[in-house]
Structures are given as C-alpha cells and as structure tokens.
Amino acid sequence: MSEKIVVSGGAGFIGSNLIEKLIEENKFEITVIDNFSTGYKENLELVKDKIELIKADACSYKEIKNVFSDAKYVFHLAAFSYVGESIKKPLEYNRNNIDSLINVLNASKENSVEKVIFPSTCVVYGESKKIPIPESEYLNPNTPYGLTKQAGEFYCKFFTEVHDLNTVCLRIFNAYGPRMQSRVLSIFANLMLEDKQPYLSGDGKQSRDFVFVEDIVNGLIKAMNSGKKAKGKSYNIGTGKGTSLNELIEKINLVLDKNIKPIHGEVAAGEIDEIIADVSLAEKELGFKAEVDLNSGLKKTIDWLKKKDLKQSQKSYI
C-alpha cells in the first residue's frame, strides 16, 4: 500500500521539484495543497496525472484539515519568501507564514501524521560572526521574513515537545535552479540574457552559499527518512562554500559567453555581508551532502531560463 504524503505549496519552485523526485520512487500517494498565490500550475504539468491537486489556502484550517487524513509525511513549503517584500508587508508575512504553519501542525497532530518537515531559511541567523555558521549559532533575523521562519521553528519544536509530533526543520541557504522565480541568481541571469546590466546592492562582495534545488530536494527526503533521530531538530542545507555576488556575475558571464558589468548601488535593507553553511551536522545525522557544483547548477538553471518567457521582478532573495 502506498504511503500518503501531503505537500503544501507544491506548485512552487522547491515543492514541484520535490514532488517529481518523490514520484520517481513510485511508492507514494501524493496530495498537493496550493492556493497559487506564488506557485504555478505549469510547474506540475509533468506530474498532474500522478497527484491529487487541491486548491486551498493553508491559512484556513477549515479548507485543509481533512486533507491530512491517513497522511504519513507532510512537507510544509507554502510560504511568502522575499526578504525585501517582507519589510514592506510584515502583516501579510506574519499571517501567511505563521498561521499556515500552525494550521498544518494542528492538522498533522489531529490526523496522527508520522512526521512534518518544515523548510526554514538561513536568514534566521541574521549577520553571524561565525563563518561557516553552525546550527548552534544564535538566531538573530533582521527582517520580518526571517522572524516568521524563526517563529516557525519554535512552533515545530513546541508541537514536538508538547504533542510528541515528529518535526524536522531545514535551514535552506540560497536556493537556485529550474522554476526559480525572482531570486538574485535568476534576476541576474534574465537581465544578462537580454544584454542588460544587473543591479548589485553595495560593492558586490557579499558572500552567499548557493545550493541547487536537486540538493535541497535530497535534503528534504533524507529528513523524511531520518526516523526519530532528527526529531525536533534543525539542520543547515547548503554547500559549505561561499560565492560573492561579483563572482556570481562572472560565472554567469562564462556560461553566457558575455562580459556584462554590474551596476552598483546603495546597500539594500536587510542585506547580510556573509552567510555560509556549516553542513557537518546534516552530513553526520542525515547523511546529506550537496553534490551539484555552482558551475553545473548555473548551466542547468540558465538552460531552463532560456526556454522560458519569464518577466522577472527585482524583489529580493534569501
């Protein structure tokens, strides 16, 4: 008998990639919840006949409570996730990211779900003095988005400690890959595909840990398969390697065989100088290790962008 998995936000960038990988294993019955506020039905085109797709808002407990019946695993990926936008819309981010998670945790508890996997973000660390950053580092988010994810981790731990619900949180670093929308890497690449100069906040020396979506999906599945050893814990999901935004522009130029120079401007609100993952705990306890290097991942991402007619808006990024 197939095991039922519920994926909230399954029509999004990471969610749709996760679903395709789960379907490859050919042993799961997958139900997707999405209200399509940030997700796209086209992301599920390859799997639409192999999943149950329910249009529902996780912020409404009434809409989702019965979906979790008989589910074994839940991935809660539904979230607003733009740093800059969250500064302008803290109420919307608070409602969408926190209320939806509490509803999912409650529904999981009421339906005796075996495990809930919650993708958090590296933004919960804020500006850390430790590089690479271990999970033990003090959480100090400096944006509403980061605050909602920190609160989400605390709610997961609360449900684990009080209700014995098995939860695992993954602090995902700078995600990129096919189906990515309005993130720093896709914004840069789309502009440069059109021979336009990308805009850099500050001097461009900010360092990021770019992790490819296939590796993120691998981390999510390893968290699902971790039994009880990861119960109530949080893990970094990254590569452990930093790349400056200036270096990123150079790498995109190499893939495109161009020589486009960026425009430098004022430092954006919520900007962090350096954020790189210490992945030793995830390697030890989950068996996770990123396998896709940035050059290979960039080529796959840009190949996908070339096939799409996407009008990217310059928002912000994780």
CA separation for the pair 305, 301 (Å, rounded) = 6
What's the rounded Cα separation, in Å, for the pair 138 and 57? Answer: 32
**Would you say residue 314 lies in a domain?**
no
Q: Give which of 68, 66, 92, 60 is closest to 79, Cα–Cα.
A: 92
Residue 284 lies in a domain: no
Let me know whether 145 and 257 are in one domain. no
12, 38 in Cβ contact below 8 A? yes
Residues assigned a catalytic role:
145
What pLDDT is attached to residue 20? Answer: 97
In a domain, 286, yes or no: no
Helix (H, G, I), strand (E, B) or coil at 283: helix
Instruction: Decide if 318 is inside a domain.
Output: no
pLDDT for 166 equals: 98
> Rg (Cα) of the chain, in Å, rounded?
19
In a domain, 105, yes or no: yes
Q: What is the pLDDT of residue 317?
A: 34
One digit per residue, pLDDT tens: the chain, 318 residues? Answer: 689 999 999 999 999 999 999 999 989 999 999 999 999 999 999 999 999 999 999 999 999 999 999 999 999 999 999 888 999 999 999 999 999 999 999 999 999 999 999 999 999 999 998 999 999 999 999 999 999 999 999 999 999 999 999 999 999 999 999 999 878 899 999 999 999 999 998 899 999 999 999 999 999 999 999 999 999 999 999 999 999 999 999 999 999 999 999 999 888 776 788 999 999 999 999 999 999 999 999 999 999 999 875 443 333 333
Question: Which of 108, 208, 90 lies closest to 168, judged by CA?
Answer: 108
Residue 285 domain flag: no
Q: What is the pLDDT of residue 184?
A: 87
Runs of H (alpha helix) within the chain: 13-24, 61-64, 83-88, 90-94, 100-110, 144-163, 184-193, 213-224, 245-256, 280-286, 294-307
Same domain, 52 and 165: yes
- Which pLDDT score, from 0 to 100, does residue 1 have? 65
Domain presence at residue 46: yes
Number of domains in the chain: 2
Per-residue model confidence (pLDDT) at position 173: 97
Residues 242 and 275: their CA atoms lie apart, in Å, by 8
**Pair (183, 230) in one structural domain:** no
Range of the domain at 123: 3-173+212-237
CATH number of the domain at 245, please: 3.90.25.10
In a domain, 287, yes or no: no
Q: Are 205 and 217 contained in the same domain?
A: no
Same domain, 122 and 187: no
d(CA 58, CA 99): 8
CATH of the domain at 51: 3.40.50.720
